[in-house]
Amino acid sequence: MLQPVSDMEQDEDEDETSTEERTRLEKAARQYKQDEKKRELFNKWLEATPQVIKGLSNLSPALGHVFKQEFWIEALRNGVEPKAMYQKLFLNVSTVFK
């Protein structure tokens, strides 16, 4: 059956809209999954950090203190990003004590 031109244009508009909407929803779903993975990693980090602080404190109370000051919850709450030198230090320490 032949459709009037205006109906055909409306169908095309709906197809474009549904494609745009589908693309937007797919992008939102991917972002949600990425955010969920970040939350999982962050929660694992939160769980492990007290053990890291304890282990470092056993090695050297100063190392434990610095790690806690730079990487623990108070720093996160205050929006403090760990200094690059401490990030490098603790990455190096972690490879030595694996």
Q: Is the pLDDT of residue 4 over 80?
A: no
Reported pTM = 0.56
CA distance 55 to 90: 12
What's the domain count of the chain?
Answer: 1
HEC-encoded secondary structure of the chain: CCCCHHHHHHHHHHHHHHHHHHHHHHHHHHHHHHHHHHHHHHHHHHHHHHHHHHHHHHHCHHHHHHHHHHHCHHHHHCCCCCCHHHHHHHHHHHHHCC
State the chain's mean pLDDT as an integer.
82
Q: Is the pLDDT of residue 98 over 70?
A: no
Which residue range is the domain that position 82 belongs to? 5-96
Q: Is the pLDDT of residue 22 over 60?
A: yes
Residue pLDDT, tens place only, 27-72: 999 999 999 998 898 888 888 888 888 988 998 999 999 988 888 8
The pLDDT of residue 34 is 92
Contact 48, 72 (CB under 8 A): no
